[in-house]
A and B are shown apart, each in its own frame.
Chain A
Amino acid sequence: QGQQTMLGKANEFFQICDIEDKGFIARCDMQRLHGELPLSQEELEKVFDTLDADGNGFLTLEEFTTGFSQFLHGEEIP
């Protein structure tokens, strides 16, 4: 059940970033989050690079979910 919740959240967050509902997140989509999230352009770029494991310039839901999963396992959520 925890896994399902995690997948649901990852999906929800993916939708926030995938503004045009393309099915992937491009670098410019990430930069549009600047202003919505308290992160600098530089930090958003770094997030994108970290999540984009294969470095093809597009973030798929799978890559996004993997990153989110790593975050959940590496960080305690209060």
Chain B
Amino acid sequence: DPNMKAGTTSEGVLANFFNSLLSKKTGSP
């Protein structure tokens, strides 16, 4: 399925987004 490429699925993008928020909160002093 061409729509199921890793990292480009909705879930992958969502995971990316929340991971970024998590590291934004924990990564900055």
Contacts and interface: CB of A to CB of B under 8 A. Distances in A.
Interface of A: 9, 12-13, 16, 36-39, 43-44, 46-47, 49-51, 67-68, 70-71, 74-75, 77
Interface in B1-29: 10-11, 13-18, 20-22, 24-25
Contact of A37 (B10, B11, B14, B21): B21
A71 B10 contact: no
Given A16-B24, A37-B24, A77-B22, A44 B11 contact: no
Q: Is the interface of B mostly helix, strand, loop or mixed?
A: helix
Q: Is the interface of A mostly helix, strand, loop or mixed?
A: helix
Contacts of A74: 11, 15
Nearest to B22: A77
Nearest to A49: B10
A70 B14 CA distance: 9
